[in-house]
Chains A and B, each alone.
Chain A
Amino acid sequence: MTLLENQPAAIPAPREITTKPRVSDQIFRAVVTVGGMSSLIILGLIALFLSLKGINVLRIEQLSFITESKWEVLQDAEGKIAESTFGLAAMLIGTFLSALIAVIVGVPIAVLSALYLTFYARGSAKKLLVSLIDLMAAFPSLLFGFWGFIVLMGSAEYWAKLLNKYLGFIPLFDVPAPIFERSPFIAGLVLAILIIPIVTAISREIFDQTPLDRIQAAYALGASKLSMIRAVVIPYGRGGVVGGAMLGLGRAMGETVAVYTVLNVVYQINWQILFGAGGNVASLILLKFGEAGPQEVDALMAAGLVLFLLTLIVNAISDILINRFGRRGR
């Protein structure tokens, strides 16, 4: 005990308790935060640079860039640009038209498929089907385009003729000339096939989140599958499925190659979906880009900006819907 008495009582200073991260952590957090901001930066840069390039054309054309439908570059004898008019309306209409056909055809099939996968398929068959559909979502759009052109076109032309024969009195299904090949209808079908796996995957995820206790409660009360789905699954999943459909719409609106290969890209307003002419903004960009002069390139950049903003809005709505309603079931 003498040992202790001889020692002066050295009371260590209390350790400073702090939540301040070490230097290494500060660096780590800074780097990760900057990396995390990259999507913001990239999206901002896309908007900025497309605007910078497109601003000249937008300034000249102003609102008529999206309301007029004339895309012309007239050259004089020396090959200089004498006059140019850029109006995107025809292609905007084409974009909405083909994307809407895709959604109208594709979404019911996708949602019913998702119902099948969630509530009917089971075991290894379910696994196989899910993998197949997920794989299809990874197919490149080039493949859909050429398959649509080579394989689907024949059948789709036949269906278009049927539609025209029996529903031709409706202006939408009328045609000015009997050309059914490469029409917005067929492009819409290809886009529908392209978005089906995407919408199916999202709807399936949302249906999977339906609370199991509610499902079992419905069954316990004697509900059939149909009435269970009507009473439990649809109310829970409605918003999310609409969001998934919007995502499909966005994808269909921005699709380039599949539309370019299938559709006869002609610069005109075409409401008659069975007639073989039309286009969308993305396919116009691809078509015109090859031989575009500097001014037309600027106009195409402006067109790209319009397309970018459109898909951004559609995606934003879809994201809000999926996240607000989709996760409610958990």
Chain B
Amino acid sequence: MTQTITPKPQTPWAVTIQQRLSTAGLITLGALLAGVAVKTTGLSGKLGFAAAFFFISTLLIFIQQFRLRDLAAAKDSLLSSLASLAIVLTLIPILSIVATVVSKGYKGIHFGMFTNDMTMASVNDPVNAGGLLHALVGTILMVGGALLVSFPIGLLTALYLTEIRGKLARPIKFLVQAMSGVPSIVAGLFILSILVIPVTQELNGLMGSLALSILMIPTIARTAEEMLLLIPNDLREAGVALGATQWRTVSGVVVPAAKSGLVTAVILGVARIIGETAPILLVSGGADALNFNPATGAMGSLPFYIWKAFLTGGTEEAYSRAWGGMLILLILIVVLFGLARYLSGRKVG
């Protein structure tokens, strides 16, 4: 009778619990020593503690690795400490920004803000006077207008890059990239120079839409291109093999297959421009009253609402109002972003 022995898989490289515990112990020790250093020496404050904590823990881990293994391992631990420090430094502003907006913004939120505009209230009035209905309406109209302009252009650009792949595909790709680097204020100046000053002589929502669409087109084009590239070539070949023309293949197969990807592109484009301030300040006028007509008269917007409350106010109420507007804006962006993640995370097709 033969005895079968199944060898247990060995993972000698895996980090053991002991190693984890000793690292955690060293980090705790580092924190303690840093606390002592802050108490006894000239170092002070949160910054002093953080710096001392990082240096002492890194040093402790370095020494331990050197003792247990060798210099190469110790140097390796240095890189992992630095990388961890970097990710912490990246996360601190994100968390701080979100925490600031939420903690300061909730005071500026009240139900009346969705039904009132600022015609009867100044930014320094108590928070529950007035509201940001006009700003929401303005933002929705302007972003919607920008979307109407940008989506066809962005989609056509993406189709050119993925379906036609002409000689100019490479330069066009480069130009789209370059366009995404156009400073937002230049987009505003451009609309001023081409339309407002020579033609309309009036600042209104339509101009805001056009300025925003310059910033939106590259985002939509690039995301849509990426999404169209995800569509397997088999689908295109199947369409052509069935005798469809390229137009029928693209309109009947490729674009419907990429539908959720294109929606993602639209959402990311909207998220890109919804908080844009500089071009809005230059070309949309900025109003405190509700205005449903993009073609005439100044139009308010969320960024303008926040901007005005911050810069012209100065009182506690004005700041609350501004942070309240910021909270609404942030919620909009997070929702849009989550939606895009959800849609693009689903299986394509």
- CB of A138 within 8 A of CB of B337, answer yes
| CB of B92, distance to nearest CB on chain A (Å) | 9
| CB of B326, distance to nearest CB on chain A (Å) | 6
- CB of B87 within 8 A of CB of A143, answer no
Interface membership of chain B positions 91-105, coded 1 if the CB is closer than 8 angstroms to chain A and 0 otherwise: 101101100110010
Instruction: Give which listed residue, B90, B217, B276, contacts A42 with CB less than 8 A.
Output: B217
Indicate if A155 sits at the interface (CB-CB under 8 A). yes
- CB of B172 within 8 A of CB of A225, answer no
- CB of A297 within 8 A of CB of B83, answer no
- CB of A282 within 8 A of CB of B153, answer no
Residues in chain A near residue B75, CB distance under 8 A = 224, 226
Bound-complex Cα distance A53 to B163 (A): 38
Residues in chain A near residue B84, CB distance under 8 A = 116, 120
Bound-complex Cα distance A33 to B165 (A): 10
Interface membership of chain A positions 19-62, coded 1 if the CB is closer than 8 angstroms to chain B and 0 otherwise: 00110110111011111111110110110011011000000000
- CB of A142 within 8 A of CB of B83, answer no
Given contacts A38-B156, A151-B96, A297-B197, contact A108 B86 (CB under 8 A): yes
Interface size for B (C-beta < 8 A) is: 89
Given contacts A142-B275, A254-B186, A307-B183, contact A226 B78 (CB under 8 A): yes
Residue of A nearest to B334 (CB): A135
Interface pick from B32-40, B109-117, B130-138, B277-285: B277-285
Most chain A CB within a 10 A radius of its CB, from B87, B281, B303: B87
- CB of B94 within 8 A of CB of A147, answer no
| CB of A301, distance to nearest CB on chain B (Å) | 6
Indicate if A270 sits at the interface (CB-CB under 8 A). no
- CB of B168 within 8 A of CB of A36, answer yes
Interface membership of chain A positions 126-139, coded 1 if the CB is closer than 8 angstroms to chain B and 0 otherwise: 00010111111011
Given contacts A29-B164, A140-B333, contact A307 B83 (CB under 8 A): no
Given contacts A43-B175, A311-B183, contact A133 B275 (CB under 8 A): no
Residues in chain A near residue B78, CB distance under 8 A = 226
- CB of B174 within 8 A of CB of A254, answer no
Residue of A nearest to B104 (CB): A150
Interface size for A (C-beta < 8 A) is: 93
Given contacts A136-B94, A151-B100, contact A116 B184 (CB under 8 A): no
Indicate if B271 sits at the interface (CB-CB under 8 A). yes
Given contacts A38-B153, A39-B157, A50-B189, contact A21 B246 (CB under 8 A): yes
Bound-complex Cα distance A111 to B47 (A): 23
Instruction: Give which listed residue, A49, A131, A159, A254, contacts B185 with CB less than 8 A.
Output: A254
Bound-complex Cα distance A27 to B307 (A): 46
Indicate if A173 sits at the interface (CB-CB under 8 A). no
Indicate if B236 sits at the interface (CB-CB under 8 A). no
Interface membership of chain B positions 28-62, coded 1 if the CB is closer than 8 angstroms to chain A and 0 otherwise: 00000000000000000101000000000000000
Residue of B nearest to A47 (CB): B190
Interface membership of chain B positions 231-259, coded 1 if the CB is closer than 8 angstroms to chain A and 0 otherwise: 00000000000000111101000000000
| CB of B200, distance to nearest CB on chain A (Å) | 14
Indicate if A186 sits at the interface (CB-CB under 8 A). no
Residue of A nearest to B46 (CB): A155
Bound-complex Cα distance A84 to B296 (A): 34
- CB of A251 within 8 A of CB of B96, answer no
- CB of A115 within 8 A of CB of B307, answer no
Residues in chain B near residue A49, CB distance under 8 A = 190, 193-194
Bound-complex Cα distance A140 to B166 (A): 35
Q: Of residues 163 to 204 in B, which have CB atoms within 8 Å of A's CB atoms?
A: 163-164, 166, 168, 171-172, 174-179, 181-187, 189-190, 192-194, 197
Residue of A nearest to B322 (CB): A146
- CB of A116 within 8 A of CB of B86, answer yes
Bound-complex Cα distance A227 to B77 (A): 11
Q: Of residues 146 to 165 in A, which have CB atoms within 8 Å of B's CB atoms?
A: 146-147, 150-152, 155, 158-159
Interface membership of chain A positions 53-79, coded 1 if the CB is closer than 8 angstroms to chain B and 0 otherwise: 100000000000000000000000000
Bound-complex Cα distance A53 to B195 (A): 12
Instruction: Give which listed residue, A115, A133, A141, A254, contacts B181 with CB less than 8 A.
Output: A254
| CB of B245, distance to nearest CB on chain A (Å) | 5
- CB of B326 within 8 A of CB of A21, answer no
Residues in chain B near residue A300, CB distance under 8 A = 189
Indicate if B120 sits at the interface (CB-CB under 8 A). no
Most chain A CB within a 10 A radius of its CB, from B78, B152, B164, B189: B189
- CB of B217 within 8 A of CB of A25, answer no
Bound-complex Cα distance A31 to B153 (A): 10
Residues in chain B near residue A138, CB distance under 8 A = 268, 271-272, 333, 337
Assuming A254-B183, A289-B282, what are 7 further A-B pairs, CB within 8 angstroms?
A52-B193, A109-B90, A112-B85, A225-B76, A261-B310, A285-B189, A308-B186
Between-chain CB contacts (< 8 Å), 25 pairs = A28-B246, A32-B164, A36-B161, A36-B166, A39-B178, A42-B217, A50-B189, A111-B86, A120-B80, A129-B87, A132-B91, A140-B303, A142-B275, A143-B101, A158-B45, A227-B76, A250-B181, A261-B310, A282-B183, A282-B185, A286-B281, A297-B192, A301-B192, A304-B185, A316-B174
The interface of chain B, by Cβ under 8 A from chain A, is 45, 47, 72-73, 75-76, 78-80, 82-87, 89-91, 93-94, 96-97, 100-101, 104, 152-153, 155-157, 159-161, 163-164, 166, 168, 171-172, 174-179, 181-187, 189-190, 192-194, 197, 214, 217-218, 221, 245-248, 250, 268, 271-272, 274-278, 281-282, 303, 306-307, 310, 322, 326, 329-330, 333-334, 337, 341
